[in-house]
Amino acid sequence: MKVFYNPTHHQHYPPFEVFDGGEKVVNFEKPERMERILDALQSDPRFEICAPTDFGLAPIQAVHDSAYLDFLRTAYQEWLLEPTNYPKQVLLPATSPPDGRKGRIPATLLGRAGYYMTDLSCGIVEGTYQAALASAQCALSGANELITGARQVFALCRPPGHHAGRANCAGYCYINNAAVAANWLSSHGKTAILDIDYHVGNGTQDIFYERADVLTISIHADPDYDYPYFSGFADETGAGPGLGFHRNYPLPLGTTDADYFATLGQALERIRAFQPAYLVISAGMDIYAEDPLGQIRITRAGIAHIGREIAALQLPTLIVMEGGYNNAALGLNVAAFLQAWL
């Protein structure tokens, strides 16, 4: 199984994030996550670690707003020019638009930061844009493999992507890797995205909400209890031509293997009925019982079982790395998930 990976992500490591309630903590989304995963995969010769191809900006611009991408590209350097009386570590906003971003886009850098950065877990440092681009190219390289006949491929993406919307970053995500890949695949055949990260793939939901050619499904902690709070509810099912082509499966906190499998079964049934040519998995391992951010309790054996159930769809499948923050367990969890495709 090919694994696309680019070490450029090391340039992206915001020193802290701000939790809900205002607590300032060391970023949970760390470069070390990738080292742990690589360690686990490199011990198995069936994984082939490959450098991604650069497919340029066009497939990313097809999903994200150009002014937003410009902001990501230039924000840090612009910020360095701002006179401040504090040491510059990471760009984070302290304002957000009260009108749901319906008004004009602010001219000032800090105004644009408040406009495009929709929470405090997506700080921008010098290497953020380059890392996010490299991450998206891993997903595109995976998509390219499927188009040229591969049955399965793993995009080892960092930073993750599924909270990034058409014109915003959030929750450690800047460019929506899975959405960029799925959008590209969709020009070759109907594509389904199944998001199993603990958190709802709200950026992915946003990007495909009015489209019928890409089915998006997310299984996640009920947003009535956990981040990202504002979407991921069961009554959000798509709009316009996309009505019926989005599904959310919110789960109660504390959900264990058996209940998760029952919900997964419903999601997989919808994917079968859609008859996609390609499947993209947003694979977050924060569903794991011992994850420091997740509050459901899926065992490692459960993660392996989820992999087997998805693989049984027998679809050309691109697995895209999203979250998972128990670094000691992360490599083994990813390896357990991928076993079914080897």
Residues that bind Zn ion (CB under 5 A): 197-199, 284, 286, 323
Q: Specify whether the CB–CB gap between 147 and 98 falls below 8 A.
A: no
Rounded to the nearest 10 degrees, what angle do helices 257-274 and 300-311 cross at? Answer: 20
Q: Which of residues 20-39 bind ligand OKP (CB under 6 A)?
A: 20
Reading the block at residue 257, the tokens are 């293997």
Which residue's CB is nearer to Zn ion, number 118 or number 186? 118
Task: CB nearer to Zn ion: give 146 or 217.
Answer: 217
- Supply 21's token pair: 């309630």
Q: How far is the CB of 306 from ligand OKP (least distance, A)?
A: 16
User: Of Zn ion, ligand OKP, none, which one does residue 261 interact with (CB within 5 to 8 Å by kind)?
Assistant: none
Question: What is the rounded distance in angstroms from the CA atom of residue 108 to the CA atom of residue 78?
Answer: 10
Contact between 121 and ligand OKP per CB under 6 A: yes
CA 281 to mean position of chain CA atoms? 10
**Which CB atom, from 236 or from 291, has the smaller least distance to ligand OKP?**
291
Q: Taking each helix axis from N to C terminus, what angle separates 66-81 and 128-147, rounded to the nearest 10 degrees?
A: 150
Nearer to ligand OKP, 109 or 131 (CB): 131
Q: Is 284 in the site for ligand OKP (CB under 6 A)?
A: yes
User: Which residue in the list 9, 12, 163, 199 is annotated as catalytic?
Assistant: 163
* 322 touches ligand OKP by CB under 6 A: yes
Instruction: Please say whether the dihedral angle defined by the alpha carbons of residues 48, 264, 178 and 201, taken in this order, is positive or negative.
Output: negative
Do 181 and 193 meet the contact criterion of CB atoms below 8 Å apart? no
- Give the nearer residue to ligand OKP in terms of CB position, either 323 or 331: 323
Which partner in Zn ion, ligand OKP, none is near 171 (CB below 5 to 8 A by kind)?
Answer: ligand OKP
Write out the two tokens for 74: 């230039």
- Residue 284 Cβ vs ligand OKP, minimum distance, rounded to whole Å: 5
- Near ligand OKP by CB under 6 A: residue from 93, 165, 171, 232: 171
Check: CB of residue 298 under 8 Å from CB of residue 306: yes
Partner whose footprint covers residue 121, from ligand OKP, Zn ion, none (CB < 5 to 8 Å by kind)? ligand OKP
Considering only 183, 323, 326, 336, the residue that binds ligand OKP (CB under 6 A) is: 323
SS3 217: strand
Q: How far apart are CA 82 and CA 75, in angstroms?
A: 11
Active site residue 12: no
What residues are labeled active site?
Answer: 163
